[in-house]
């Protein structure tokens, strides 16, 4: 099993007056090649959870297995874990610091102790993957657009060649065009390299469109887990914890009330268009 989490619990400031239980009894599995979405309102434990998956945080109790290895074991090298599990933080471009785009992307591979030839190969390959022109290699990362900087930051993680890619709100602050470009590029990377991808997002539409499985967090616990259709069918439960379903799903419900035969579990605009077109063709043929 590529990722298995068992009875994970994490407490901030344990033993102090500021003690806060951030994660409680977390259990889940992620299969090879899955695209997993994690949703939940602010403070639900999403970011705390993903920081456990590459060893940035150590659990108070519980186990985390990555490719069968318990990364909570003290004998395990976290450096080796982070070669396998790449984590892209929210606003990753704020972590760019080098003089050139090339040097920023090369930072991780250099720390892996690779040869100059391998580093150069990985940097240019990562730039190609995320859609940053090689001609920009010697340019400062602070001279390009916000969307480009986001791509550069993701390229820096991909240059490490992780088996698992985790992204925390990768489209935060981007305009609609930049957001769509980044998400489509992430899906393209996922499909091309058959990697496990974990996407944390507040957008129900994005999760519905890309995820194979959804983990719903609430107050440090897993509230729901399942396919997008299984999860978004439970609209009332999601609404009670401050979430919702994709807007197109709400629209489908209203159309059903009007007698239009659209399934309740429609998740994307494309699906809705297909059912509405069928309905209109039916009226035309009457």
Tens of pLDDT, residue by residue over 176-233, are 888 888 899 999 999 988 999 999 998 899 999 999 999 999 999 999 999 999 999 8
Indicate if the pLDDT at residue 285 is higher than 50. Answer: yes
What is the average pLDDT across 61-79?
Answer: 92
Report the alpha-carbon distance of residue 205 to residue 202 in Å, rounded: 9
Residue 286 pLDDT: 44
* pLDDT tens by residue, 180-190: 888 999 999 99
State the pLDDT confidence band at 15, using cuts at 50, 70 and 90.
confident
CB 223 within 8 A of CB 237: yes
- HEC secondary structure over 196-245: EEEEECCCHHHHHHHCCEEEEEECCEEEEEECHHHHHCCHHHHHHCCCCC
Contact assessment for residue 21 and residue 189, using Cβ atoms and an 8 Å cutoff: no
Q: Tell me, what's the pLDDT at 1?
A: 55
Contact in structure between 83 and 71 (CB atoms under 8 Å): no
Confidence of residue 112 (pLDDT cuts 50, 70, 90): confident
Report the sign of the C-alpha dihedral through residues 61, 64, 69, 75, in that order.
Answer: negative
CA distance 20 to 228: 31
The band of 26, judged by pLDDT with boundaries at 50, 70 and 90, is very high
**Domains observed in the chain:** 3-232 (3.40.50.300), 246-286 (no CATH)
Q: CA angle at residue 200 from 196 to 201, to 5 degrees?
A: 135
The rounded radius of gyration (Å) of the Cα atoms in the chain is: 21
The 10s digit of each residue's pLDDT in 140-177 is 999 998 889 889 999 999 999 999 999 999 888 888 88
């Amino acid at each position: 099993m590529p990722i298995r989490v068992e009875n994970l619990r994490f407490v901030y400031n344990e033993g102090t007056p500021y003690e806060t239980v951030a994660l409680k009894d977390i259990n889940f599995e992620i299969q090879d090649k899955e695209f997993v979405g994690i949703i939940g309102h602010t403070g639900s434990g999403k970011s705390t959870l993903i920081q456990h998956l590459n060893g940035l945080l150590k659990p108070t109790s519980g186990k985390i297995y990555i490719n069968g290895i318990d990364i909570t074991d003290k004998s395990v090298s976290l450096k080796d874990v982070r070669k396998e599990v790449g984590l892209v933080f929210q606003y990753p471009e704020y972590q760019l610091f080098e003089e050139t785009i090339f040097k920023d992307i090369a930072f991780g591979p250099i720390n892996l102790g690779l040869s100059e030839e391998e580093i150069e190969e990985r940097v240019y390959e990562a730039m190609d993957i995320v859609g940053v022109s090689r001609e920009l290699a010697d340019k400062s990362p602070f001279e390009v657009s916000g969307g480009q900087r986001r791509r550069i930051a993701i390229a820096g993680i991909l240059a490490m060649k992780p088996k698992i890619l985790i992204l925390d709100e990768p489209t935060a602050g981007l305009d609609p065009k930049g957001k769509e470009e980044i998400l489509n590029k992430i899906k393209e990377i996922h499909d091309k390299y058959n990697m496990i991808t974990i996407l944390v997002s507040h957008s129900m539409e994005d999760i519905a469109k890309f995820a194979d499985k959804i983990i719903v967090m609430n107050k440090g616990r897993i509230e729901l887990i399942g396919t997008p259709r299984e999860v978004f069918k439970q609209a009332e439960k999601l609404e009670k914890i401050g979430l919702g379903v994709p807007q197109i799903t709400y629209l489908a419900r209203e159309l059903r009330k009007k007698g239009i035969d659209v399934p309740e579990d429609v998740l994307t605009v494309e699906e809705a268009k297909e059912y509405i077109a069928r309905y209109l063709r039916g009226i035309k043929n009457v």
